[in-house]
A and B are shown apart, each in its own frame.
Chain A
C-alpha cells in the first residue's frame, strides 16, 4: 500500500493534508495520534469506503498492490477492490445473523465458487480460534458472542475473501486485555501472509506488535518509521511528547 500527497476533507473542511505513507508488504503498520487527527479518514480512504459519505473529497494517489485505487471508475471494480481488502472496525460489527452466515456473507454476496468450498474455508480458518471456543456451535447468533469473540469473527470473516491487506481501526479498544492479546497473536500470525495497517490508541500495543509506526497530528504525518526507533528515540518533540503521554511541549 502506498499513499502519496493525500489531502482529504468533508464539506470543505480539511481532515488530511499531504499525507505520504508507504507500507511494506507483510508488515504491521501502526497509525497513532490523538482523536480527530484523521486516522480513520485515512484508513477508510484506502478501500474507498468514504465514497459513500456526503461531502467527502480527496486528492492524491493511493495504490494497493501497485494499482491506483482512485483511478477505478466502474463501481464493480471498486467492489472488487474492497473484497481484496479486509476491514475491521472499532465496534465489532457482526451482521445480525448466525456465526456461519456471517462467515458466508462475503461469499453469498459475490457468488464465487461453491457453498461447500466456502464452508470448508470457514472451517479451515478455524474461525480465528473461535471454533474451539464455541464448541462448534456455528449456528449461534453472532450477537450473542462476547465482544472479543465478535471481533475475532469479524477478522475471520474478512479473511474469507482472500485479501492481502487488512485495515484495522482500533480493533481492540472495546476489548479486555486477554481478548486483546488473542487478537494481537492472531495478527502476528497473519503477518506472514498479509499486510496489516492498524489504528491504535494503545502505545503499548503499537510498540508490541507493529514493525512501523506513523504519528498523525491534525491531519498530517509528523513522523513515521520503524516502531522500535520511533518509540525509543523520536525525532520530533511532538512525537516524543505524545508517545510518552505528556502534554504538548
Chain B
C-alpha cells in the first residue's frame, strides 16, 4: 500500500517540522532569558532592588538602584488597566451581545482594528499634544510664563502616561474579551432569559462571569504591554530616572502630586543605563531587564492562579 506509506511519511515530516519549530521558539526564548539573567545577575542585589536611581546614569558604574522604577512601572500599569478594563469590558459586551452584525458593531470593530495598528509612539505624540492643553493641567503640572499666567500644561505625568497606555492597550483587551464572551454558550444567556431575567441581567450575571478566565487573560495581556512599552513612557512620562514630585514621593500627602509629576519606569531605566542612553552601564540595564521579566512572569503566574480560581468552580474537573 504505497499510498498509505506516503501518508505516513508526510505526516512524519509534518511532525518533525512542528517539533523543530517548537524547539526553535523555545530555544530563542530560553536564549533571551538566559542571556539577560547571565548579564544581569551581578547587578541584581537587595540593594539594587531597594535603592533609588542616581540622578544621572552618566559614566560607568552610575545608575543606582531600581526601587522607584519598579514602583513607576507598577503605578503606570495600574492606572492604564484601571482605565482600559471597564471601557474594554463595556465595548466587548456591546460587540458580543448587542451589535452582532449591525452597522454600529462593524464601525466599532473597524475602529478597534485601526487603533490596534497605530504605533505606540504615535499614540504618545497624540497624547502629548492633547495633555499639554491647559484644560488638562489637572493631569500634570502647570507651565507658567514669567508673569504667572498658566500658558499650558506640562503634559507629562504618571496620569497622562497612564491614560495614553489605556488607549494603547484598549484594542487588544477589547479583542480578547470579545472572543472570550463569544465563546460562552448562547444557552447560558438564553436559559437565564427563559427564567425571566432581562437580557442585560442575563449577560451581566451569567455570561460575563462565565467568561471570567478570558477577561483576566485580556487584562494581563494589556498589563504586559504597558510594562514593556517605552515610547509612551519616553514621550509622556518625561525623561527622568527619579520621581520628580515633592519628596518623599511615598508620603500619603504627596501621592496625588507624585502621580501628577513624572518619574522613571523599568523600561526608561533600561534605556538610560544602556549604551544607547546617556550612560554606559549594560550590567545595570540587564539587571533591570531581569527584574522586568521577573515582574511580567509573576504577573502571568498571578493571572493563571486567578483564572484557575474562577474556572475551578467554572469548568469542573
Contacts and interface: CB of A to CB of B under 8 A. Distances in A.
Given A54-B100, A143-B314, A143-B315, A161 B195 contact: yes
Contacts of B8: none
A72 interface: no
Interface in A155-203: 157-158, 161
B278 interface: no
B197 interface: yes
A85 B313 CA distance: 29
A95 interface: yes
B190 interface: yes
B196 A109 contact: yes
A122 B193 CA distance: 20
A110 interface: yes
Interface string A89-124: 101010111100000011001100000000000000
A66 interface: no
Please classify how large the interface on chain B is, using the bins under 10, 10 to 19, 20 to 34, 35 or more.
20 to 34
Given A95-B206, A141-B313, A47 B194 contact: yes
Contacts of A52: 193, 199
A47 B192 CA distance: 13
Given A52-B199, A54-B100, A141-B313, A95 B194 contact: no
B191 interface: yes
A109 B197 contact: yes
B196 A82 contact: yes
Contacts of A161: 195-196
B118 to A, nearest CB: 31
B210 interface: yes
A45 to B, nearest CB: 13
B159 to A, nearest CB: 37
Contacts of B101: 54
B195 A106 contact: yes
A124 B72 CA distance: 58
Interface string B192-224: 111111110100001001100000000000000
B195 A83 contact: yes
Contacts of B206: 95-96
Contact of B195 (A82, A97, A144): A82
B187 to A, nearest CB: 4
Contact of B191 (A97, A98, A154): A154
B126 interface: no
A29 B197 CA distance: 27
B188 interface: yes
A141 to B, nearest CB: 5
B195 A96 contact: no
A204 interface: no
A208 B314 CA distance: 36
B316 interface: yes
Nearest to A86: B194
A74 B206 CA distance: 24
Given A54-B100, A54-B101, A93 B188 contact: yes
Given A93-B188, A95-B188, A96-B206, A49 B195 contact: no
A49 B190 contact: yes
Contact of A82 (B100, B194, B313, B315): B194
Contacts of B313: 96-98, 141
B195 A89 contact: no
A109 B200 CA distance: 12
Given A54-B101, A143-B316, A91 B187 contact: yes
A79 interface: yes
Contacts of A93: 185, 187-188, 190-191
Interface in A64-87: 75, 79-80, 82-83, 85-87
B185 A79 contact: no
Nearest to A167: B194
Interface string B174-198: 0000000000010110111111111
Nearest to B101: A54
Contacts of A106: 195-196
Nearest to A106: B195
A93 B187 CA distance: 6
Nearest to A81: B196
Contacts of B187: 89, 91, 93
Contacts of A144: 316-317
Given A49-B190, A52-B193, A89-B190, A96 B198 contact: no
Given A52-B193, A79-B198, A109-B196, 14 more contacts: A47-B194, A79-B196, A79-B197, A82-B196, A83-B195, A91-B187, A95-B192, A96-B210, A97-B313, A109-B201, A141-B314, A143-B314, A158-B195, A161-B195
Interface of B: 100-102, 185, 187-188, 190-199, 201, 206, 209-210, 313-317
15 contacts: A52-B199, A54-B100, A75-B198, A79-B197, A79-B198, A80-B196, A85-B194, A87-B191, A89-B187, A89-B191, A93-B188, A96-B313, A110-B196, A143-B315, A143-B316
